[in-house]
Every structure is written in structure tokens, then in C-alpha cells.
A and B are shown apart, each in its own frame.
Chain A
Amino acid sequence: MTQRTMIQAITNALDLELERDPDVLVFGEDVGKNGGVFRATDGLQDKHGQKRVFDTPLAESGILGLANGLALQGFRPVAEIQFFGFVFEAMDQLIGQAARMRYRSHGRFHVPLVVRSPFGGGVKTPEMHSDSLEGLFAQSPGLRVVIPSNPYDAKGLLISAIRNNDPVLFLEHMKLYRSMRMEVPDNAYTVTLDQAKVVREGKDMTVIAYGAMVYTALQAADEMAKTKGVQAEVIDLRSLSPIDTDTLVASIKKTHRAMVVQEAQRSAGVAAEVIAQINEHAIYYLEGPVLRITPPDTVYPFAMIEEEWIPDTARVVHGLEQTLSL
């Protein structure tokens, strides 16, 4: 066991998988000598060599195209998109190619690819660095979308993603990279993909969140307990595609009320999908409508207004009160 930040847990996961499996390759812009702009790949090139951990030319479609070609020949590429806003350059290689290859070849080919990328607000970046775009990918068939919220999950989910034989989009919230330390086992371990996790037990209502919003939801739940004696259950989705409906339904059977908190702009996203699934599978257990607390339908804002844009504890508490009263 070692105390690790999320970024250290990620580096550790990459290190162990590079060690374990010679087919694992790590590449992207500045990931070699520089160890990545966030140091996610710090020291990995020195340790594993330039054939395993390397810099690429500055072209995102080229990077994911390279990854696809390698994966089709049996490698397990872990490609980095330096900031997730740059993924638009590579949409085809991810959604149009990687995610369709198994289907397209009727199983002859598959793409065991992991795309890692930092995203998320609250760290005052220039434009196109912070947007929450996971909804675009969660809607894409053939692709898994994972967002860890803590160092332990980050390591275990990343290892699972690397070992999985289908493409996984692994999004790392920048604000969580160094915001906490946690005991993380030194050995390689996996956290099962496709599963949500109850991170706070409660009997009065269910709050569903992911990424940095897990902590906002937890704070709001604590406040509700203190001020109102209401015990909210908080679920960290972890997997945005597929969504672990069973865990959500089990919780709602107990609490009969639910709300979703999402950092992404409001419409047609993960929160909408979660609510639709609750509607399909748990409507008879509900005593009121399922609300979502989200930013408005705008692009991710310039730095001066981001604190107001992202849902904060007060907004989530307000949402919880509403959910209880309806």
C-alpha cells in the first residue's frame, strides 16, 4: 500500500501493465521524455524504452489511426489525447473506426485500445480543454466510457480497460488528479468495468453522479444529513457507457427518490440517459420525478465564470430538497 494521488495511481497502472504485457504501448503528444503534460507517463519511457513509450507527431487522428493499426495487429495501445477538447480531430478514428471494427469484420478483428484523456472544469484552462464531452461518446455503440473519481478506482479501472479486448475511453478529471491521496495497493488489481458503486449509503433518496461531481454530491448529502436528517445514498456511476442500471434500480427500490448531478451541459447527455433507464426499469418504485442538476446548455465557459457554471453544493442541496418535496 502506498498513498497515491489519482495521477500517481494512473502512472502506476501504466507502469505495471507495461511490465506485465509486452504488447502494451503508451504514446501520444509529449508522453515520452516529458512524461506527459500532467506527468501521467512520468519516468515510463526511461524504464520501458522508446519502443514502448513514445512521442508522436502532433496530430490526433494520426495518433488514434496509429493506435487502430497497432491494435489490429495485436498490440494493446494506450493512446493519450493531451486534452479531451482535441478529440474532435480524431472522432472518426475513435467512433467511426475503433468502435466499429469488431462489428465491421464480424469478429475477425477487434481493437483493444484505451484512449486516456484529461478533461473537466475548475482549473482555469484556455478554451477547449475543460469541456465534458462524454455524452457524445456514451452514445456511440461499441465503445466503453469510463470516468474514475478516485485513485483506487483509477488504477483498477485503467488496468481493466487495458486488459479488455474492446476500445475503452478513459477520461480523467483534471481537478481530481492531485486533489486527494488514498491508500492504493502496489500490486496490479482490477476494478470491474461496467459497474457503478455506492459511495455513501442512505435510505431517503438516491443521488447519481460521476467524476468530480461525486464530491459535490457527497458534500450535499452530508449537509442534508446535518440540516434535515435526510440520508441520501450517493452512487458513483464510474461507467457512463454502459450504465449499470441494476445498481441504480436496487438503490431506488430502497429510497424511492432519485436525482442526477452532471458537470456536462444539460441536454441529451449521460444524465438524460440515466433518467431514461430509471424510467424504463424503476418507475413503479418512484414517489416523484427524477431531476437533474447540470450547467446550462452552453459551451464550457471562459475561466472567469466557471465556478458559477459548474453545479456547486448549494445547487445540489437545492435540487435534493426539491426532489424530496415533489
Chain B
Amino acid sequence: MSAVLEQTQWVPFKQVLNSEGRVVDPDLMPSLSQDQVRELMKRMVTLRVLDQRAVRSTRQGRLGFYAPVAGQEASMIGSEYATRKEDFILPGYRDIPQCLYHGWPLEQWMLWSRGHQQGMEIPPEVNFLVPQIIIGAQYVQTSGMALAFKLRGEKRVAITYTGDGGTSQGDFYEGINFAGAFHLPAVFLVQNNQFAISVPVNLQTAAETLAQKAIAAGIPGIQVDGNDVLAVYAVTKQAVDRARNGDGPTLIETLTFRFGPHTMSGDDPTRYRSKELVNEWEQKDPLVRLRKFLTIQGLWSDEEEEQVMETVKAEFTEAMKKADSAPKMTVSSLIDSMFEQLPQALQRQRAEFARQEA
């Protein structure tokens, strides 16, 4: 798969930093302050630790569903950082970090992971949808959201995520095609982490890149080094700005890799990935790359990294405590959330459960 890291004939491929942390494309270098670049580093370190804690917590039975994110930090952090709070994120099940940085309280994510309804009560001012389980469904909804912004004349952008497997879905094409036809303020992001559970990209499609699928929809497609947080940020920022300025949608493919299993529900990646391939991608670790870039300039130190790690560990523990204190879910409250006005039959069913729960 490393061959795709070269310019393809279909769509541009973008990179700012090479794996040594050296700038290879100064033109694409985003205009971020030193503090902002350090912030990106902090977030990626935070995420790496968060991921380790989450993996451990699922093993201990303290979290429920979890899809590991290590390896994909740059794709997730870089793209979310390019959005504004008023922009709306339509995530998949793995895209928890973008939601957290968009305003989802940590303890609510934990409750979501456990399957507690309170986790889904996203605060009213926070703009993302509960992570989608049905692969591709969020792509068609993104067009609707973006059309809503356009009709209301709001300068907001709808941004959505799927994986390489997701690009095989009909909804993927329908979503980008609608956005193209209606010229909508939407950004469609594909995190190509090379595998859909166990199925490699080359079994997913004969297309050389996933970004070129944009061509069929008549919208710009762009491929970016997904382990280069500066490049992901720069490319997403351009797409978000284009969308906000009324210049239409963009499809972005980030080339990345998940280091861990597909989810914590029994996946064993050694069944479908070679050690060599994993090693090859570990050489391109997104954290290492930005750390090198910052260290060369004297903008990052081990002590600082240590501090970030301690902070997130404490936050994680604190959030877990809060999650543990959430009230027990009830079936009657579940029934209440089906309709605004409960139909007669459901009222009867509710009364039965409420009696048992009292």
C-alpha cells in the first residue's frame, strides 16, 4: 500500500511533513501559530493515552463498545481542528475523538460506550450526531444537513467521516452525489486505514485511490497523508473554507493505519495483517512525526509530554467516576424516548414497566 503515497494520476496527494518531520511542501504549510501546532501535539498525545486507557477499561469491563484509534490521531485531530464549533460533525463509531474535541463530555462518551442512554444526550450547543453504526448512512444525512445550512443562509459546514470500507456503500456515492448536485457546504472524509475489519482496500475496489470516487460525483477529491497532522489540517481547512464560502463539497481521503484491533469485541488483527505491514506503518507514527518537527525547533520536550499524559490520565479517572454515578437506566424512560406523544398502546406498556420499576 505504500505505493499510494506517491502522486497518482487521478487526484492530488498532499503532504507537509515527511516521516523525518521535515517540511516537504512549504506552500501547504498551514498558517498556525506555534502554540496551535503545539496544541495539535498535545491533543495527539492525549488521544494516544486515552486510547490506551479505553482499551484497558474495556478489558476490565468498565467500558463497553470501543473501536481503537491509535495510529489515526492525525487524521482525527487534524480534521476536527479545521472545523468551528458551529460546524456539524456526522461521525462513525470510531470517530469519538472528533466528538470529544467538538464538545462531548468524556463521561458521556463513556456512558455511550456502555450503552447508557444518558451518553446520547449531547449538550444542546454541541454539534455532532450520535456516532453512526450503519456504515455509510451518515453520508446521505450530511447532504441534508448541509442543505439545511445553505437554505438558511448559515455559514456552517457539515463534515462527515467513514472508513475505506464505507466507500463501497451506495450511501457513500449517493451522499457525495447529492452534495455535488446541490452544491452543498459539506466535507466528506474517508479515513483509509487500509482495512475494513479484515478486508483490505484492494478487495474493496479496483479504484487506485478512494478520493478519485469524487470525480464521478463531479466534486473535488484529494488524497492526503493521514499521519501528517499538518497536512490533514491544511487540506481539511481548505475544504471547510471552500464549503463555507459557498464553493461546494470536497471528498478527502486520508491515508492512515489503525495500530490496534478493529474493535475490542474480539478482533484479532494478526489473522489478516502481517507483522511487516504493521512495522512499516509504525515507522510513520503520526505522533513521532510531529514530535520530530517540534523538537527540531525546540518547541516540545519530554517533560511537557509527560505532563500532558498525566493530565489526561487524571481526567480519564475523574470522568469514569462521573460515569459510574449515572442513575440506572429504566425501560420506562426508554419508552418515553420513542415519541413526543406516546401512542395509547405504548402508554399501556409503559405503565406496566413503570409499575415494576417503582
B partners with A: yes
Kindly provide the distance from the CB of A88 to the nearest chain B CB, expressed in whole angstroms.
Answer: 12
Contact with A along B107-122 (1 / 0, CB 8 A): 0000000000110111
**Residue A72 lies at the interface, judged by CB distance under 8 Å to chain B:** yes
Contacts A61-B171, A62-B143, A68-B141 given; indicate if A97 touches B134 (C-beta within 8 A): yes
Contacts A62-B177, A242-B346 given; indicate if A69 touches B142 (C-beta within 8 A): yes
Which among B120, B141, B334, B346 is the interface contact of A69 at CB below 8 angstroms?
B141
Kindly provide the distance from the CB of B321 to the nearest chain A CB, expressed in whole angstroms.
Answer: 21
Q: Which one of A33-41, A98-106, A214-222 is at the B interface?
A: A98-106
Which among A25, A59, A106 is the interface contact of B174 at CB below 8 angstroms?
A59
- Distance A71 CA – B177 CA, assembled complex (angstroms): 20
Cβ of B344 and Cβ of A92 under 8 Å apart? no
Contact with B along A126-145 (1 / 0, CB 8 A): 00000000000000011010
Cβ of A72 and Cβ of B140 under 8 Å apart? no
- Chain A to chain B: the 8 pairs with minimum beta-carbon distance, closest first: A69-B144, A65-B140, A73-B148, A242-B343, A62-B174, A69-B145, A66-B144, A69-B141
Of A59, A64, A166, the most chain B CB neighbours within 10 A belong to: A59
Contacts A102-B337, A109-B129 given; indicate if A69 touches B177 (C-beta within 8 A): no
Residues of B within 8 A of A (CB): 88, 117-118, 120-122, 124, 129-130, 134, 137, 139-149, 151-152, 158, 170-171, 174-175, 177-178, 181, 334, 337-341, 343-346
Contacts A69-B143, A73-B148, A105-B122 given; indicate if A57 touches B181 (C-beta within 8 A): yes
- Distance A165 CA – B146 CA, assembled complex (angstroms): 21
Cβ of B344 and Cβ of A246 under 8 Å apart? yes
Cβ of B144 and Cβ of A72 under 8 Å apart? yes
**Size of A's binding interface in residues, CB under 8 A:** 46
- Distance A165 CA – B147 CA, assembled complex (angstroms): 20
Cβ of A72 and Cβ of B344 under 8 Å apart? no
List of B residues within 8 angstroms of A108 by Cβ = 120-122, 124
Cβ of B151 and Cβ of A51 under 8 Å apart? yes
Cβ of A106 and Cβ of B117 under 8 Å apart? yes
**Residue A243 lies at the interface, judged by CB distance under 8 Å to chain B:** yes
- Distance A103 CA – B119 CA, assembled complex (angstroms): 12
Cβ of A75 and Cβ of B151 under 8 Å apart? yes
List of A residues within 8 angstroms of B158 by Cβ = 69
Cβ of B344 and Cβ of A71 under 8 Å apart? no
- Distance A77 CA – B141 CA, assembled complex (angstroms): 13
Kindly provide the distance from the CB of A222 to the nearest chain B CB, expressed in whole angstroms.
Answer: 31
List of B residues within 8 angstroms of A164 by Cβ = 340-341
Kindly provide the distance from the CB of A251 to the nearest chain B CB, expressed in whole angstroms.
Answer: 16
